[in-house]
Amino acid sequence: MAEAIKVPTMAEYMAQGKSPEVLFWVGCAGSFDDRAKKITKAFVKLLAKAGVDFAVLGTEESCTGDPAKRAGNEFLFQMQAVTNIEVLNGYEVKKIVTACPHCFNTIANEYPGLGGNYEVLHHTQFLKALIEEGRLTVEGGKFKGKRITFHDPCYLARANRIYEAPRDLLKKLEVELIEMKRCKTKGFCCGAGGAQMFKEPEPGTKDVNIERTEEALETKPEVIAAGCPFCNTMMTDGVKNKEQENKVEVLDIAEMIASAEDL
Amino acid sequence: MQYLPNILFVIALAAGVGFFVLNIKKLIRNIKLGRDEDRNDNKPQRWKNMAKIALGQYKMVRRPVSGIVHVLVYLGFVIINLEVLEIIIDGIFGTHRIFSFLGGFYDFLIAVFEIFALLVLVGVIIFWIRRNILHIKRFLNREMKGWPKLDANLILYFEVVLMVLFLTMNAADLTLQTKGAAHYASASGIIGSFPVSQFIAPLFENLSISTLILIERTSWWIHILGILVFLNYLYYSKHLHILLAFPNTYFARLKPQGQFDNLEAVTNEVKLMMDPDADPYAMPEEGAEDEVPAKFGASEATDLSWVQLLNAYTCTECGRCTSECPANQTGKKLSPRRIMMATRDRIEDIGKNIDANKGSFKEDGKQLLDDYISREELWACTTCNACVEACPVGINPLSIIMDMRQYLVMEQSAAPTDLNNAMTNIENNAAPWPFNQMDRANWINEN
């Protein structure tokens, strides 16, 4: 990072008696996972460049409870949810953006029933809106004309019918988008969902991420674009397993935009 | 004695319909063994879904080959059933083609029935080839061995026999009319138009009137008796979908697929735990004990909701879900179709048990979990919703998997060790990994 970008917390805003335009929900992966932290930073750079008045919860953020819920631990999920909702409502948060489709789905769909009502956006939707409002400009830059395939995250695509926002951003980057055979409604999972990320797979003939990576590699891409930190990990592992890491990059769309803009 | 056929027909009809009604009552009783769930919200949307997905076959054609052939067989089935109405009236009153007063329109109708009968015949043969000759993977999974395979083929054979009988009957009738046979021929010329069976009729040219009547009557009787048998076969078969697809699409979930229901019983407990004013030792309010569920999640078919049981009876084992399931496609034991089949098997066994024990269930030492659905299957799911999306009639196998996981975790603490570690981390430090929550914002100052 050329220079440190200021990332204010909600607590700091509150101390000044102000509230930001949007809360950036970083998520566990975005906070702790080394690969996902790069996505977080790229997104923050874009927010700063667009002049978005944003804040994070910082140490007051905690797991949304998604993996607990999908594992079947409804108690733990609701404990997490109620705790987070108390914090969010305490700060009178209205609008949330997150780079994790799992956090997105949980906060948007499962928090309202527990008293947490917010406008929740996935970062690809938010970036698209920034571009449409003219606050952020994107040009092809280094991805112009490159062969790129996009892997639909289950919890963004099928689960919430968001297929176009990430693809619209890729169009802005003027890439040559090559769809995999199984995409959009038929998108094939990376293998991390349903808390599989945190366990060994059940016995089978192949790992799900290898199957998906093979499908992605069939499109002969230079970049496999992702919109989820867990998909990113799974696809990155898959590419390494296929010994293609020198030829094929796995990048989040926010990283692509940030690096196209040379941020 | 001249009314003997009419009487026999009425008896056969009453027996066929009566037995069917008994089975439908049993079916409804079994579905109601499931727990209550409200699916009466947003009725306009529900009607719309039923019209689009069940009536309109909208999701079927996502796979063009099987989809379009299915639409033909489906349309044929619906349209030819109009003819069954005439057959029933003729059977009761001993008339011959009672609707022929419709004149030109009647000719048109019979022509349409014949064309669809031929299309159904072709469609069914294509289906048979797909199931038995082409090695289509989704028809070959382990859950498709034995009865499910036989069931699928029996349905196809039934349809072939019914269509052949229908066309044979028409061909014999046409020949009888041409020969001017009493009761068949009409002064106003040939009744009906026979674009398909006219090609069978020449085979009958040289037969005597009495042989022709025998052929016509035999075809007529076996056809209608076949329909009554087929109607009663439904309850024992995956073919039940021809009826249940309609209520099933009506009652299907309307919420986003990613939204899993929040368990209300848990919400109450969590709120109590979070409420600083709550007195954990307070006497429960009057009737409050009744609200606490016997268990969290599902280990038995009767722990599932009636919608999930309706789903199980609706499943026609097409396997579109399984063919798109990432776990199944990578060789895991999980097959969403098998989840539905096992659920139906279990609730059927419970129903039979209740019937055999004068209306109350007698413990049989079995349950849905482990005896019908294994833990390995449940833990292989990525909750990606591909199965839910693929189902042409709105079945949700994922919801059953989730309810059973809830039982495993909340009632038995039987999650895989890795998951237990992740959940302990969430509990202790608010992330699935063992990082301190106080380090959550460290990324801000890292380069």
Interface test with B, best of A59, A73, A105 (most B CBs within 10 A): A73
Residue A33 has pLDDT above 50, yes or no: yes
Sequence-ordered strand ranges (E) for chain A? 22-25, 54-55, 95-98, 119-122, 147-150, 176-177, 223-226, 249-252
- What average pLDDT does the segment B113-118 reach? 96
Q: Which CATH class is domain A137-260?
A: alpha beta
pLDDT of residue A51 exceeding 90: yes
Give buried/exposed letters for B12-47 (b at 16+ CB in 10 A, else e): ebeebeeebeebeebbeebbebbbeeebeeeeeebe
**What per-residue confidence (pLDDT) applies to A1?**
45
Indicate the residue of B258, B266, B327 with minimum beta-carbon distance to A109: B258
User: Could you tell me where the DSSP H helices lie in A98-201?
Assistant: 101-105, 123-132, 164-172
Task: Give yes or no on whether A10-131 and A137-260 have one common fold.
Answer: yes
The pLDDT value recorded for residue A2 is 47
B300 conformational bin, left if phi > 0, alpha if psi -120 to 50, beta if neither: beta
- What value does the mean pLDDT of chain A take? 95
For B208, the token pair is 């005597």
Average pLDDT, chain B: 93
Q: What is the pLDDT of residues A162-214, one digit of tens each?
A: 999 999 999 999 999 999 999 999 999 999 999 999 999 999 999 999 999 99
Tell me what pLDDT residue B103 has: 86
Eight-state DSSP code of residue A219: T
- Position B277 scores a pLDDT of 78
Residue B282: pLDDT band with limits 50, 70, 90: low
pLDDT at B68 over 60: yes
- Cβ pair B422:A199 closer than 8 A: yes
pLDDT in tens, A127-167: 999 999 999 998 778 899 999 999 999 999 999 999 999 99
**Distance to chain B for A128, nearest Cα, Å:** 22
Nearest chain B residue (CA) to A183: B386
Nearest to B389 among A185, A191, A211 (CB): A185
The tokens for A220 are: 């002969």
What pLDDT, in 10s, does the model give residues B288-324? 555 555 789 999 999 999 999 999 999 999 999 999 9
Domain locations along chain A: 10-131, 137-260
Whether the predicted pLDDT of A217 surpasses 70:
yes
Average pLDDT over residues B222-227: 94
Q: Does B321 touch chain A (CB under 8 A)?
A: no
The domain limits of chain B are 4-31+63-251, 264-433
- List the single residue in B262, B274, B438 with the smallest CB-CB distance to A113: B262
Residue with tokens 């052929």: B215
Give the tens place of pLDDT for each residue, B252-276: 999 999 999 999 989 988 888 877 7
Distance from CA of B198 to the nearest CA of A (A): 46
pLDDT of residue B273: 82
With vertex at residue A40, the alpha carbon angle to CA A39 and CA A46, rounded to the nearest 5 degrees, is 90
Mean pLDDT, residues B199-208: 93
Q: How far is B261 from chain A (nearest CA, A)?
A: 7
Q: Cα(first)–Cα(last) distance of chain B, in Å?
A: 101
Number of H-type helices and E-type strands within chain A: 11, 8
The per-residue pLDDT for B186 is 81
Three-state SS string over B313-353 comes to HHCCCCCHHHHHCHHHHCCCCCCHHHHHHHHHHHHHHHHHH
How high is the ipTM of this complex? 0.95
Assess whether pLDDT exceeds 90 at residue B360: yes
Give residue B135's pLDDT. Answer: 87
- Categorize the per-residue pLDDT at B394 as very low, low, confident or very high, splitting at 50, 70 and 90: very high
Count other C-beta atoms under 10 Å from residue A118's C-beta.
18
Tell me the per-residue pLDDT of B172-195, one tens digit each, with 9 for 90 and over. Answer: 999 999 998 888 888 778 888 999
Tokens of B163: 């269509």
Q: Taking a C-beta distance cutoff of 8 angstroms, is the pair B120, B72 a contact?
A: yes
* Closest chain A residue to B271, measured at CA: A82
Global pTM value: 0.94
Contact between B259 and A158 using a beta-carbon 8 Å cutoff: no
Class of domain B264-433: mainly alpha
Which one of 3.40.1280.10, 3.40.50.261, 3.40.640.10, 3.40.50.1860 gives the CATH number of domain A10-131? 3.40.50.1860
* Average pLDDT rounded to a whole number, residues B21-45: 96
Q: Which residues of chain B are within 8 Å of residue A61 when distances are taken between CB atoms?
A: 430, 440
